[in-house]
Amino acid sequence: MFDEIARVERDHGVVIPTVAHAGDGNLHPNFIFDAVPDADGVVDVPEAIWDAADDLFRAALRLGGTLTGEHGIGVLKRRWLADELGDDQWELQRRITRVFDPAGILNPGKVFEP
């Protein structure tokens, strides 16, 4: 995976320092870019960073890895969750959410909506 991180850095011209948990193999790549806030102080992630993240996360899945670690998928990586789970698991997760949260009040606006 570290070879893939280096490749993505080269291919996309980005810097991705990565820390890891030696005991369990969790990697934490960080995508570095110049943050330019808008008038409201909101920083939009540049499309080039999203492209690099897409390439890196798909490489992790291709190598048999997962996008989740000790903290779960997170809102930034949720766009790749369906690719990791596949259609059957994606639908199963949605059904489980509907059973335990039919009103959609637990963690609204996150990954699975009822």
Kindly state the average pLDDT of the residues 86-99: 92
pLDDT of residue 113 exceeding 90, the answer is no
Task: Write down the pLDDT at residue 114.
Answer: 56
pLDDT computed for residue 76 by the predictor: 79
When pLDDT is cut at 50, 70 and 90, the band that residue 70 belongs to is low
CB-based contact 50:94 (threshold 8 Å): no
Rounded to two decimals, the pTM is: 0.80
- Residue 107: which residues within 8 A CB-CB, separation 6 or more? none
CA distances from 78 to 31, 67, 73 (A): 17, 9, 6
Q: Considering only CA atoms, which of 5, 113, 19 is closest in space to residue 70?
A: 19
Say if CB 33 and CB 49 are below 8 A apart.
yes
Domains in the chain, CATH or no CATH each: 2-65 (no CATH), 72-114 (1.10.45.10)
Q: What band does 17 get if pLDDT is binned at 50, 70 and 90?
A: very high
pLDDT category at 91 given cuts 50, 70, 90 is very high
Residue 24: pLDDT above 90? no
CA distances to 46, 82, 113 from 66, in Å: 24, 12, 22
